[in-house]
Amino acid sequence: MKFLYCPNCKEVRAKAWYQVRPQCSRCMGRASQIVVPNGPLTYLTYFLYFFVPGLVAVSLITDDKTYLWYAIVGLVLMVTVAMIDLGRGYKLAKKKVRIAASDLHEFRKRGWL
């Protein structure tokens, strides 16, 4: 996952998948990109992205509503896991900024400025 730290706004925000340049969405200023490693919840979310539509397809093919209910439960689970994973990544990104903000040399060495 990727996050952006804006030195003007002093905020960490999640980087959208369609953003090409590291730019703050609030002030449109230059932002530093922070990469957070993927965790197990990220891979569970990726799995659910493919599994839930598969359940919908099986429900349509077999005309069995049970699979559709499983897909709804899977969709709720997928959104919940994605939000928990985003919160985990946000906390890790904030820790990286807090460590680096105390020492400007370390901040530049890590490539965040």
pLDDT digits (tens, 9 = 90+) for 23-53: 888 888 888 888 888 889 999 999 999 999 9
**Distance (Å) of CA 18 to CA 4, 14, 15, 21, 33:** 13, 12, 8, 9, 14
Q: What is the pLDDT of residue 71?
A: 93
What is the overall mean pLDDT for the chain? Answer: 84
Beta bridge partners, 2, equal: 35
Helix (H) or strand (E) holding 11: strand 11-14
Helix (H) or strand (E) holding 2: strand 2-6
pLDDT digits (tens, 9 = 90+) for 53-95: 999 999 999 988 899 999 999 999 999 999 999 999 888 888 8
pTM: 0.72
Task: Flag whether pLDDT at 1 surpasses 90.
Answer: no
In contact, 70 and 45? CB cutoff 8 Å = no
